[in-house]
Amino acid sequence: MDTAEIQKILDTEGDVAADYLEELLEIADLDGDIDIFTEGDRAHVSIVTDSDVLVGRDGEVLSALQELARLAVMTETGKRSRLMLDVAGFREKRRAELQGLATEAIVEVKETGEPARLSAMNAFERKVVHDVVAAAGLVSESEGQEPNRYVVIRKAD
């Protein structure tokens, strides 16, 4: 599949998810603007709003909405989606926090040589940490069972 075909698929995913979320906002009588973009191999949809109602505690409502949007895409296209949803900038703020946390843990591992175990995180959060760790030349792996999976950071062998 060439780049143009992949882009077309991602654009379709974003459009389907945006339509679904716009309907949801209308039904729930909530304000918000929808932004769609692609980054890498994922469609991204953001609900721009001042309200955190659709974020929920620790992003729980946001995660559920993301799964619903992915189901809407799968229903429409017949293919599983890796769509990423953000509401009120929650994921971007959380990404910045996690990058800082990972950087602190990396410094600790480099100084002590001992592995660092981070607190439990969802898949999105673990992916952010894994990316920062890999860029720093260390290794990381997820351990534990959902919902208590966490990242362990080690020096490369």
CATH 3.30.1370.50 positions along the chain are 92-154
pLDDT digits (tens, 9 = 90+) for 15-36: 999 999 999 999 999 999 999 9
135-148 pLDDT, tens digit per residue, is: 999 999 999 999 89
pTM of the model: 0.84
- Architecture of the 92-154 domain: 2-Layer Sandwich (3.30)
User: Which CATH class name applies to 3-88?
Assistant: alpha beta
Of 57, 41, 46, 43, residue with least CA distance to 21: 46
**CATH 3.30.300.20-classified regions of the chain:** 3-88
User: Is residue 108 a contact partner of residue 117, using CB atoms and an 8 Å limit?
Assistant: no
